[in-house]
Amino acid sequence: MRRLVLGMLILLLAGYLLTGVVQVRPGERAVVRRFGRVLKEKPEPGLWIGLPWGMDRVDRVAVDQVRSVVVGYQDDDAGGDAMPAGQLLTGDHNLVNVRVKINYRVRNDEVEDYVVQVDRVDGLVARAVETVMAQWVASRTIDDVLLNGKIELRPELLGQTQEYLNDYRLGVQVIDVSVGLIAPPDEVKSAFDEVAEQQTRIVTLRFGAEQAAASKQSDARAEQYKIEQETAAYVLNRKLLAQREAERFMERLRQYQIGRDKNPHYLRQIWEEERGKLFATLKANRQIGLLDHHLGPDGLDLTIAPPLPKK
């Protein structure tokens, strides 16, 4: 009997001592509190051997686990007399329902802070998110909140929520925020939908007008470029013609200076040649013609009456 009791005591003692052996799984960090005081050593994945239960308390924390908290308006909160959670007041005194989901995980080097306040973490995270949401919504108009909220609120929550949590020393890191709902209360939703529809129509019309204006500006620039190119080509052509005329004149002058010493009538010869060219051009343009039809029995009759004006 004594041996049986002794054996049972030994087994109980062995079992008690084994309570000091803890298996830390991969992705976990452990926090050891010995007689209530947190040890500096943070056991990593593997076997941890410490003092038995009552002396050591080992809390294992999955640091690679993503934890989530949904904050804000919930559909089952509507209908009461009190303002539901997540129903916030905008800067122009309108109500809007907001709901977000925040994801966080425990920091490796601050596991002990998380373990000490683990029962309060989700609540404090939710309060920090609500504070940031309320401040952001209160600083904007209802139109700005509804139109831009899902884009602009997310980075605001990522930055400012982490600042609040750092002050709380919770040992957590915000890794993502998703804005699930930004909408007016159900009682006025139809009116807001109608306003949103009209605003969308205005944006569409404005976009169409801007596109038309851009197209006209593009056409005008193309026409301007065409005119500038044609003008430049015309100027260049006239300049080249003037240069050739000047070169021909200088060559003719040179020939005249050479020929006048040999032929005293050289200048008259030039005059006759130029006059012949002029008359040929005028005749080709029907500006002059033969005078045979003006000859009569009394000689040449050049009396020409001006034509009557057309009615």
> Which tens digit of pLDDT belongs to each residue from 207-218?
999 999 999 999
Write down the pLDDT at residue 230: 94
Write down the pLDDT at residue 3: 75
Q: Kindly report, residue by residue over 230-275, the tens digit of the pLDDT.
A: 999 999 999 999 999 899 888 877 877 777 677 767 777 777 777 7
Write down the pLDDT at residue 157: 92
Please determine, for residue 79, whether its predicted confidence score (pLDDT) is greater than 60.
no
Confidence of residue 174 (pLDDT cuts 50, 70, 90): very high
Write down the pLDDT at residue 48: 61
Q: Kindly report, residue by residue over 30-58, the tens digit of the pLDDT.
A: 777 777 667 777 777 766 666 666 676 77
Dihedral, CA atoms, 210, 212, 214, 216, nearest 10 degrees?
A: -150
Q: How far apart are CA 213 and CA 299, in angstroms?
A: 73
Distances (CA, A) of 153 to 99, 106, 172: 11, 24, 21
Q: Is 168 exposed, middle or buried (0-12, 13-18, 19+ CB in 10 A)?
A: middle
Which residues make Cβ contacts (< 8 Å) with residue 137, sequence separation at least 6?
88, 89, 90, 91, 96, 98, 145, 149
Using a pLDDT cut of 90, give the percent of the chain over it. Answer: 31
How large is the average pLDDT for residues 109-131?
89
Q: How far apart are CA 283 and CA 299, in angstroms?
A: 23
pTM of the model: 0.54
